[in-house]
Each structure stands twice: as C-alpha cells, then as structure tokens.
Chains A and B, each alone.
Chain A
Amino acid sequence: MSHAYTDGLDAGVVRYQCCDDCGAWQPLERHACRACGSLQLHWRDAGGLATVYAVTEISRAPADAFRPLAPYTLVLATLDEGPRVMGHAEPGVAIGDRVRAGFLRFGEGTLLRFLRE
C-alpha cells in the first residue's frame, strides 16, 4: 500500500510533514497541525542527519522475519529538522551520537538504518 513515509524510505529519503501555515514540523502523520490546527500539512524530505534520542538492543525478535537479524539495534533519532523517528542502527550507537540515515531493503519494504556520522 502506498504511503508517503514508506515510499520515501523506498526512494532513499526520510520524509516528514510540515505545516504550510505556521511552519511547525509534525511527528509521524497528522490530519491537523499540532501547533495551529491548520489542515495544510505537506510532506518534505529531511536531510538525513539526526541525533540518537533513545537506543535498545533487541535480543528477542517479535516475528520470524526479524529472527535472523537478532540481536539488532533500534533507535529513536531526532532529525535535525525536528521530528523523532524510529529506525535500526549500527551496533554500539549511544544516546547523543550524531547519525545519518541509511536505507536497507528488507523483504518487500525498506528499513531505515542509521549509521554513525
């Protein structure tokens, strides 16, 4: 199914929504602006640079498809543009590390995977 965020990952960019009226970035996907309530939200391409906000190493994969990857590292990373996104990351990254978005084909889709800058 087509979606601006996952289509972006397939094309090698991290996308986020921004408000045309007040300029506020939006986390995830919204119908109305979190700051001013405007309905004029549009997707933009982020530059790919981010700072690690939270990190975990997953030992127990929740589904068969991910078992070959375990243990794998997941992060919440704050894009320089503001929104925070979830992605994989190279092992050993720590909170506060500067990272750059990478893209990894996985099954039918693309995983966002951050590498240390």
Chain B
Amino acid sequence: MKATYVRGTGNTRFGRIEGSTPLTLMAQAADAALADAGLARADLDGVLCGYATTLPHLMLADRFCEYASLRPAYAHGVAAGGATGGVMAMLAHELVRAGRCRHVLVVAGENRLSGQSRDQSIQTLAQVGEPQAEVPNGASVPAYYALLASRYLHETGMDADALSGFAVLMREHAAGHPDAHLREPLSLADARAARPIATPLRLSDCCPISDGAVAVIVSAERGAGTPVRIAGAGQAHRHQHLGAIDDVMQTGAADAARRAFAEAGGDVEGIDCLAIYDSFTITLVMLLEELGLAPRGQAHARLHAGEFGRAGALPLNTHGGLLAFGHSGVAGGLMHLAEAARQLAGRAGERQLSKRRRALFHADGGVLSSHVSLVLEAMP
C-alpha cells in the first residue's frame, strides 16, 4: 500500500462572519489548502465534503465542486456527526492508498452562527437524540453530555470543578491563534462561576457555535518541507443514542484507537502531540481517559501538572480546540487535524512547539457514538 501525506491545510477564521455561506467559507479554506500544498485546482481528483446544517443538500460535494470550479473523478458528501472530518481524512487516506486518487480535498464549513438562530441550531443538533424516547423530553446536546458527565463523575469520583481547567487551557491556546473565535483569557474562577446550562456543565464547559471552514489535502506525494504522513486510522460505532450506551467507560474510543495503532504500529506511549475532540470539557476528559492518555479520573491531574500545555509532554489542541477556537460543525473537528499536521510539519508559526514526531487525532460524533482515530507522523 502507498503512503499518504497531509500535504496542505487551510482555514478561514472562526467566529461570526457576516454574509458568509457554507460555499463561500469552504471555497476560501480550499483555496488556502491548495496554496499551502502547492497544487492547482486541476490536480484535485477527489473531493470529500462534510455536511452543513445551514445548507442541507442531497449532493453538497457536487454543489461545492461546481461553485469552486473543481472537476474531480471522485466526490461525495460524508456525515458522521463530529467525527466527519476524521472519517473523511480516513477515507481520503484509503482512496489514495488504493490508487483511486492522487490528491483528495477534504473540506467542510458552514455559517452555523450567523446563518440561523441559536434555537434553530440547538434544535437541529438535538436530533442526534432518539425521536420517541429522548428528544421529546426537552433534551438537547448539552443535556445529553450533562447526563454522561454526571455518570462519569460519579464513577470516577471526580468533581465538576475539575472540568474547568480544560476550558481555561483551551482559551490559553486559542489566544495564540489569530483565527480563533474566543481569544480572551478565561480565569479558573470565572470558568467555575459561569452560569449553569445543564448540571454539572456550565457555560464555560460548552463550546461556542461559530462560522468557519477548514480544508485538508491528502496526497500520494510529499509537498515542500517536512512531510506528514497518515500512519494509521481506525473507527468504532457501538451505538447512536444515550439510551443504548452500555458503559460510559467503553464508548468505542479505545476500539478506534486500537485499530489505528494496529495499522500505524506503536501505542499511546509513542505519541507526543494531541488533537482530541472537545465539544464539551467532559468530552475531552472521557476521551483522554478512554484512549489511555490519562488514568481514569486523573486527566485533570495531568492537566494541573502542565502536561497538556504547550511546554508539556503532550500538548493538547494547541489551536484552542472546539472550546475556544470554535465549533462550526464538521470544520470544527477537522481543525484539530489541520493543527496537528501543522505542528508536525513545523509550520505552526508562532504556536510552533519543539520538534514533534507523532500525533494522535481523535474525534467523536453524536453522544460519543461515532469514533475515529488517526495517527499522524512527521517523516525524517
């Protein structure tokens, strides 16, 4: 099988972008990724496009390709909730490995903040719940994650206050990125004093809703500079709804990572950079611990020891993650991949970490329902 490389990345700024549409945002991100990769439009022979809640469409990839003047040999939309970005990158990796495509554009973006009311957005997202038994209770995505959080804190003996440190760290990291949605610092005291949304989660435990787009080009050829290869990929899908989760300690995250490491070789001990989905602080804690990056109930201890900071052993979401860089749907989850690739390639500008060799990307969709792990590696 051929090697595959994350050859280019591009993103718009995240936040409120008045007058934007999913098509304009995706086009800007794609232009930036093409420039970064040193490729022309005509070089792209594959396009994978994430869904956009503000532009539901039967064939968004075709609509986008027409708008952006792309004529790929392979294109379609993909939907796996928050895992979509990683799932598209995994598919691009497979398409390139199999020889079907040489240069695949993975792109997503939407005007999730400015294109609809907050209630509309919350209602759309709530539909990941079960329509007869869950959604009619007046439940929403924060409620689903709050229920998960209550159980997880109960089983691990963690205090809700322990979650706040992750919100603070993501703000600290976002402050270093000019394109981030929430760049103002957040103190631990302010995070803990934030208004409750759904106990034990406070506003500071929830990501914002943003406009924005991200694009990544997965290629059979190395570009300029340090090549970053996709060394392994894996998924897991054990349930869709909260009512069908057997055990909050085994949601599928570890299964996906095991499959990714089976392809890449090695394990979490060899990882020195993290890109982990963080729709809520509890999401981040549950994923870090199920992935084996911290013992159960101890992710906050590693955080307080400074290990997830820029100077730590395992820098986490150095762009600020969904909690602070922002969440514009599929693009929000794809941004973690773009950031990890930039760090490994030594192209993260002022945010550049000391030399990193291997990053673990993980994302989930729904309520820890769809999982995808990717192992990225800087080539010598």
A residues with CB within 8 A of B: 3, 5-6, 27-29, 53-66, 69, 72, 74-76, 83-88, 95, 109, 111-112
Contacts and interface: CB of A to CB of B under 8 A. Distances in A.
Among A27, A29, A53, find the residue whose CB has the most chain B CB atoms closer than 10 A.
Answer: A27
Given A58-B198, A95-B151, 13 more contacts: A54-B148, A55-B150, A58-B143, A59-B198, A61-B138, A62-B138, A63-B119, A76-B242, A76-B243, A86-B243, A95-B154, A109-B136, A112-B137
B31 to A, nearest CB: 36
Given A27-B243, A28-B244, A57-B196, A62 B133 contact: no
B297 to A, nearest CB: 16
A72 B146 CA distance: 13
A86 B197 contact: no
Interface string B142-163: 1100111111001000000000
B151 A54 contact: yes
A71 B198 CA distance: 9
A50 B130 CA distance: 20
A87 B138 contact: no
Nearest to A84: B243
Contacts of A109: 136
B272 interface: no
Contacts of A55: 147, 150
A56 to B, nearest CB: 4
Interface of B: 119, 122-123, 126, 130, 132-134, 136-140, 142-143, 146-151, 154, 195-201, 241-244
Contact of A28 (B133, B138, B146): B133
B137 A74 contact: yes
Nearest to B122: A62
Contacts of A56: 143, 146-147, 149-150, 198-201
B138 A83 contact: no
B150 A95 contact: yes
B119 A60 contact: no
B150 A86 contact: no
Nearest to A59: B196
Given A61-B138, A62-B138, A54 B132 contact: no
A23 to B, nearest CB: 17
12 contacts: A3-B132, A5-B133, A55-B147, A56-B150, A58-B198, A59-B199, A62-B143, A63-B119, A74-B198, A75-B147, A86-B243, A95-B151
B137 A88 contact: yes
